[in-house]
Amino acid sequence: MSDFDYDLFVIGGGSGGVRAARVAAGEAGAKVGLAEMDRYGGTCVIRGCVPKKLMVFASEYSHMPAEARAYGWDIADGAFDWSRFHAQLKTELDRLEGVYRKLLSGSGVDSFDARARLKDAHTVELSNGEVKTAKHILIASGGRPVRPDMPNAHLGQVSDDIFHWERLPRSVLIVGGGYIACEFACILHGLGVEVTQYYRGAQILRGFDEEARGLIADAMKERGIDLHTGTNIVEMHRADSPEAQGMEAAPVEASQFGGAHEDAPGSGPVRVKATNGNIRDFDAVLFATGRAPNTADMGLEELGIGLSRNGAIEVDEYSQTKVPSVYALGDVTDRVNLTPVAIREGMAFVETVFKGNPTPVDHELIPSAVFTQPEMGTVGLSEEAARDQEEIEVYCTSFRPMQTAFADRPDRVLMKLIVSKATRKVLGCHIVAPGAGEMIQLAGIAIKMGATKEDFDRTVAVHPTMSEEIVTMRNPMRSA
C-alpha cells in the first residue's frame, strides 16, 4: 500500500494539467488528485484561445455585407448585438468547463475546487483546509495578464476582463503591440468599437517576421484602427477627476461601458496623455503589456524550487524542477506559452514518470497563428533570425487574393519561405492571409519533416487558391 494519498497531485485545471491528470489515471492506472481554484479549462478554454476565437468569428462578419453586395447579394449592413453574443458565449464556456470536469471524473481523477500550495516535496495544502500527500506533484497553474507599473494603472483593464463585459465600450485604447493586443484591436474594431492602439516599440508583433508584421500593421491601419508605434502613456486619470481637468481633451459621449463593470476599476471614461502629445478620453483602456506565471504564495522558493526573474518555474527537458518529486509544465514555466505545447508537455510527463519512457519535450518548429485580420501563420525561423544563423534564400510573394480583389477591397496576402542555401531545407514559412492559421498547420508538417524547397516545388498546386503560391514560387526574391 502506498505511503501517499496519491501517486500524482496536479495543481491547475487547465489544458496541460487536465491532460496529464487524466492520462496518468486512465492509461497508466495512477491514483490522481487535481486542485483548481477557478474554472476548469484554464486560460485557453475560459479566458483565452476559445472565447477569443469565437470573438474573432463574430468580428469578421462586419465586412461580410459589403463584400456580399459586390457579389450580387442584396444584403444590408446590420448592427452587432453584444448582449446576445455574450449570452451564447457564456453558455458555450459553461458547456466546455463541464466537458473538462467530466473528462477528469471519467478517468477517476479526484477534483478539488480549491487553491493549492506546497507544504513540502510531497504535500499540498488546500484552501479548504485539506492536506494531501503525493509521490509526484505537477504544477500547471498557468499565467495571468499583468498591468504595467505606473500611476493609476488600476483604471485600465486586462484581457481577462473583456470576457465579462456586459456592454461594449464606444471607444477603447489598447496599450501593447504583442499578439494579444493586436488580436483584440482587430476584434473590437470588427465589433464596431473605435480602437486606438499605442505601442512603445517601432513595429507591432516583435519577434515575428518583419515583413509579415509590417503587412499586418498596414492592414490594421487600412481597416481603421488608429495605430501609433513609438508611443506610450505619460499619465492617465478618470476624466472627471481634478487631475484630469488640466488636461484638455475632446469629451466623449456618455459611456456605454456599464452593466456588471459599472463600478469596477477601469470603467470609463479615462483621460490619457500620450508621449506623442495626444490627450484623449476613452471609454476603456486595455493593457496587453505582458503576462506573468502564477507562482506567488505557492511555497516554491521555501522548498528550493528555482524561479526565474519573472517568477517562472525552472525545469529541465523532462519538466522536472530542482526538487525531484515536483514537476511543472505550461505557461507557469514560460517556455513556449501555447495550449498545444502544454498538452504535449503533459503527455511527455506521463510517458517519463508513469510509463517508464523518458521523453524530453520537443520545442522545435512549433507552428503558431496570430488571429489578427488578416491572420498570420508562422513556423520556423523569421528571415531576420535565419540570416543571422546562415546564408539563406527568401522566396516571397504578396498579392491581392481573388475573393477580395473582385469586391475591390485593398486586402493583400503574403506567402514566404526561408530556405537554407547549404541544405535547401525550408527553415521558416510565414503566411499572412485569411485562414493563415489553417494553412500553417499543414505547412508545419512538411517543415517538421525536414522538407526542402525542391520538395515544395515537386508538389502540384491546388488552383485557384491563395495557398498554391507556396509551391509555385520558383525564383528567390533575395539572398542573404
Per residue in 66-111, pLDDT (tens digit) is: 999 999 999 999 999 999 999 999 999 999 999 999 999 999 999 9
What whole-number distance in Å separates Cα of residue 294 and Cα of residue 225? 33
56 contact partners, CB below 8 Å, separation of at least 6: 183, 186, 187, 371, 373
What amino acid is encoded at 391 in this protein? E
Active site residue 463: yes
pLDDT of residue 130 exceeding 70, the answer is: yes
Catalytic hit among 122, 136, 164, 463:
463
pLDDT digits (tens, 9 = 90+) for 333-388: 999 999 999 999 999 999 999 999 999 999 999 999 999 999 999 999 999 999 99
- Annotated binding residue 53: yes
3-state secondary structure of 56: helix
What whole-number distance in Å separates Cα of residue 111 and Cα of residue 120? 20
- What does pTM read for this prediction? 0.94
- Annotated binding residue 330: no
3-state secondary structure of 415: strand
- Annotated binding residue 469: no
Query: What pLDDT does 436 receive?
Result: 98
- Annotated binding residue 180: yes
- Which 8-state DSSP code applies to residue 375? E
| Distances 152 to 241, 245, 266 between C-alpha atoms, Å | 12, 16, 9
Query: What pLDDT does 33 receive?
Result: 98
Query: What pLDDT does 343 receive?
Result: 98
Question: With bands split at pLDDT 50, 70 and 90, how would you rate the model's confidence at 242?
Answer: confident
pLDDT digits (tens, 9 = 90+) for 169-208: 999 999 999 999 999 999 999 999 999 999 999 999 999 9
Element (H, E) at 126: strand 123-126
Query: What pLDDT does 410 receive?
Result: 94
3-state secondary structure of 404: helix
| DSSP alpha helix (H) spans, 269-338 | 300-303
What whole-number distance in Å separates Cα of residue 233 and Cα of residue 256? 23
- Annotated binding residue 185: no
Q: What are the structural domains, with CATH classification, of the chain? A: 6-144+291-355 (3.50.50.60), 148-288 (3.50.50.60), 368-479 (3.30.390.30)
- Annotated binding residue 94: no
8 contact partners, CB below 8 Å, separation of at least 6: 20, 21, 24, 25, 30, 31, 32, 33, 134, 135, 136, 137, 138, 353, 354
- Annotated binding residue 190: no
Q: Which residue has the cell 506567488?
A: 296
